[in-house]
Structure 1
Amino acid sequence: MEVIAGTIASPKGFYADGIHCGLKKTKVDLGWIVSEVPANAAAVFTTNQVQAAPIQVTKEKMASGQLQGVIVNAGNANACTGAQGYTDAQQMAIAAADHLGVAADQMAVASTGIIGRPLPMEKVTAGIAQLQKTGDPQAFQKAILTTDLTEKQIVIQTQIGGKTVTMAGCAKGSGMIHPNMATMLAFVTTDAAIATDLLQQLLRELTEVTFNQITVDGDTSTNDMVLVLANGLAGQPEIQKDTADYHAFKEMFQAVLTALAKEIAQDGEGATKLIEAKTTGAVSDEAARMISKTIVGSPLVKTALFGKDPNWGRILCAVGYSGQPIDPNALSISLAGILVFEAGKPVFFDEECMQEKLEGSAIEILVAMAQGTGQGMAWGCDLTYDYVKINALYHT
């Protein structure tokens, strides 16, 4: 398995483009991903009960299990916009499909941006007409960003069934991040041949240990979506469950989703540090994941690490209210690689060394439970002054 340079259009038979259509002042704000042939499709969506029109439309289009592309805009979420919003999302799909010469039920829709504003459809439809099948794939990555400071993408290749299989992923997400799911859009393309049902099963399984293990601010958005397209053009035999090819594909898939999840956490609004929490020895993997996610979601932990304060008591407190079985007298905590708590008692440490460690841009927290074999990880970021500034002024 090798990480290579590339874009969301690197797998065989995929294209992408992005343009500025006027939803944002100057930045690229409209794009699409297109497959040469209908692709087997899988998706997971926000669990927020208030769901934006593009989510509703794309759920309907997923019924066939195949898609040929997705049209995406940033700058306007088309959420909480009533019947007109639903009609506008449908019209986006129709306009993109007509421009490509494919069926409208083969075109998914995604939007991100401000909630509660109708889409200016004259700008959207005019922009769709400018998109090119063989346009600029990197521009698509730019077209999905809102408050993001960085583009998030990865391309991986591996050998499956005697053929080179490529998988690419890109994502946006910076604030309102607390999956299941978060204000994030993620798109994955692959030229592997895999049945829709198996692809959907794998996506759900891997989402639990990747995207659903990140948190920035505890808010779950109305528009979140992870969409995967597999067009089979690599030419390898179709992947069958529990085979060597299946495990190779799963490893690649998990690597792509993990990389994107960590990039989203690291690019949290105003963030200066990626926080990675790992719990081992829990009563189950699920318990370990929930403990880890509670730690990275704690405002007190997040602010302490922003201030470079080794306040491990806040970590222990978060473990205690995680809702999972714990024995505080049998666990240990390490912060930035330094043991700070063990067997119910503090461990004295070199404060200068700790201060130097906390200057880093990535901080690891390890909780060892000694209660079982469960293990799990979660990712978050620090909570800074800039987070408040960005969200206080988001609408203005």
Structure 2
Amino acid sequence: MKFTSSLFKAKAPIDKYSLYVPKTGVFPKKFEVGSIATGVKKNGNLDLGIIVNRNTSRKSTSSAVFTTNRFKAAPVLKSKEVLESNNYEGVNAIVVNSGCANSMTGEVGMRDAEKMCDLVNNKLHLDNQTLIMSTGVIGQKLQMEKIANGIDKIKFGSGFEDWLNMAKSICTTDTFPKLISSQFKLQNGKVYTLTGISKGAGMICPNMATLLGYLVTDLPISSRGIKKILSFAGERSFNCISVDGDMSTNDTICMIANGAVETDVVDVDSPDFEDVCKNVTSFAQQLAQLVVRDGEGATKFVTVRVTKSKTFEDAKIIAETISNSSLVKTALYGEDANWGRILCAVGYSKTENYDSLDENKLNVKFVATDGSTPSELPLLINGVPNLDVDEARASEILALNDLEIVVELNTGEEECNFWTCDLTHEYVTINGDYRS
């Protein structure tokens, strides 16, 4: 038996905080945030945050995508009710707590979720306009006395530290807060701002996971426009990531557009709609990728690209199957070029079109993303193994922190990018005593 894999070598830790946490930022007009340590977290860290829209000149619009887990947590059910009752307009606050998921807590959990929203509505003088998110341990009740006290005392601001602390307040096993912001222009030349915050490091699987996130912008978007934009962007970002294949009960991604920049409202038939959709999708992908980069115990960030597929749906199913394969993920950790595991995952993926797969047309390769030459290493060519695979080059590529697995189906023109990480000893350590 060969024991040359880097699985048995010490790996230098990556300083993810320095790499991925911004030092400055620009934020949408008329939004403020606040955060506080209520004492729910045993370590005394920030554990409650609120984002609020202060723009009163135009009604906001909002949308959200939620977990598809059948056991939806109380905050998910409450947020769905608030969005629907407001017809996706006029939502002006989001309250988020960490340290307790308020999931599988029955009627008490629903009452607590409603109370949290009521407390924020009262504090901010809103009328049923607050969404709620919770993250942490499932099956535990909220410590409402501490949370209520925190909501009462929380202060708001719009500076960089305020936004960064907001991102910190929703972390659980995250090793760094996930905050990004960007600006873009449309045809009218005006500048609009997007800011995104997310959390998640484990229990991450498509169709949402232990994943919370929100996007806010000062661009005015119609209610039907923002729903379509977030649905499209979410399908190609937060629903295209996987750390461990487990799906939570609490996942929520929300977007609020407050229209604080005076300009025409973007609707689905507006000339700028496609540009806005592309900007939001690219932005959401960057935010979602940070979740994978912070995958519990992960040492590698892996892009799985399935190309030349008959349909986008087939490409996504295959990419997801590869990304969730424990055998593929452990081989990545061990830096073992066992491409047979990739091929196996392609074969058992539950694609709906049988003619979307033809093993005689299938190509599989590793791709280095560090700019080295050659960057591509073919493993399977038209269904035939590459007998001249450079094993030394394969080891070099698999030793990279960032790399790609590319699968060419050659049955169509659609493609899907999926982002995943390796599965390590540290992942087991973290999740073996999560509640402690």
TM-score for the superposition, normalised by structure 1: 0.96
**Partner-residue secondary structure (3-state), 1:189:** strand
For 1:367, the equivalent position in structure 2 comes to 407
For 2:46, the equivalent position in structure 1 comes to 28
**Partner-residue secondary structure (3-state), 2:287:** helix
For 2:169, the equivalent position in structure 1 comes to 143
How far is 1:133 from its partner?
A: 2.4
Aligned residue type for 1:340:
L
Q: Verify: 1:307 aligned to 2:334, yes or no.
A: yes
Check conservation: 1:329, 1:343, Cα contact below 8 A. Answer: yes
Question: How many Å separate the matches in 2 of 1:313 and 1:211?
Answer: 28
Aligned residue type for 1:143:
S
Long gaps (5+) in structure 1: none
Question: How many Å separate the matches in 2 of 1:119 and 1:80?
Answer: 12
With over 3 angstroms needed to count, the CA separation of the structure-2 counterparts of 1:59 and 1:6, relative to structure 1, is farther
Question: How many Å separate the matches in 1 of 2:68 and 2:383?
Answer: 38
Aligned residue type for 1:331:
L
How far is 1:241 from its partner?
A: 2.4
Check conservation: 1:5, 1:155, Cα contact below 8 A. Answer: no
Question: How many Å separate the matches in 2 of 1:209 and 1:292?
Answer: 12
Same amino acid, percent of matched pairs: 39
Question: How many Å separate the matches in 2 of 1:242 and 1:353?
Answer: 50
How far is 1:244 from its partner?
A: 3.7
Pairs within 5 Å for 1:1-396:
10-25=27-42, 26-37=44-55, 38-63=59-84, 64=86, 65=88, 66-103=90-127, 105-134=128-157, 136-160=162-186, 161-324=188-351, 325-336=356-367, 337-347=376-386, 348-396=388-436
**Partner-residue secondary structure (3-state), 2:417:** strand
How far is 1:5 from its partner?
A: 6.9
Cα deviation, 1:140-194, whole Å, max 9, x if unaligned, reads 1001111111222221111123311111111001111112111100100000011
Aligned residue type for 1:42:
S
How far is 1:372 from its partner?
A: 1.1
Question: How many Å separate the matches in 1 of 2:205 and 2:432?
Answer: 19
Question: How many Å separate the matches in 1 of 2:271 and 2:104?
Answer: 46
Worse overlay, 146-155 or 47-56: 146-155
Cα deviation, 1:284-342, whole Å, max 9, x if unaligned, reads 11111111111111111000000000111111111111123311111111113311111
How far is 1:139 from its partner?
A: 0.7
How far is 1:229 from its partner?
A: 0.5
Worse overlay, 304-313 or 324-333: 324-333
**Partner-residue secondary structure (3-state), 1:129:** helix
Check conservation: 1:293, 1:377, Cα contact below 8 A. Answer: no
Check conservation: 1:193, 1:237, Cα contact below 8 A. Answer: yes
For 2:5, the equivalent position in structure 1 comes to none
How far is 1:392 from its partner?
A: 0.9
Question: How many Å separate the matches in 1 of 2:114 and 2:198?
Answer: 23
Aligned residue type for 1:50:
F
Aligned residue type for 2:184:
T
Check conservation: 2:210, 2:251, Cα contact below 8 A. Answer: yes
Check conservation: 1:162, 1:236, Cα contact below 8 A. Answer: no
Name the structure with the higher strand share: 1
How far is 1:247 from its partner?
A: 1.9
**Partner-residue secondary structure (3-state), 2:272:** helix
Aligned residue type for 1:355:
S
Paired positions, count:
391
With over 3 angstroms needed to count, the CA separation of the structure-2 counterparts of 1:116 and 1:151, relative to structure 1, is same
For 2:19, the equivalent position in structure 1 comes to none
Check conservation: 1:17, 1:138, Cα contact below 8 A. Answer: no
Q: Structure 1 stretches (4+) deviating beyond 2 angstroms?
A: 4-7, 240-244
Question: How many Å separate the matches in 2 of 1:262 and 1:338?
Answer: 24
Question: How many Å separate the matches in 1 of 2:275 and 2:269?
Answer: 10
Check conservation: 1:194, 1:230, Cα contact below 8 A. Answer: yes
For 2:18, the equivalent position in structure 1 comes to none
Check conservation: 2:292, 2:420, Cα contact below 8 A. Answer: yes
Cα deviation, 1:190-223, whole Å, max 9, x if unaligned, reads 0001101110111112211111111111111110
Question: How many Å separate the matches in 2 of 1:49 and 1:286?
Answer: 22
Check conservation: 2:293, 2:301, Cα contact below 8 A. Answer: yes
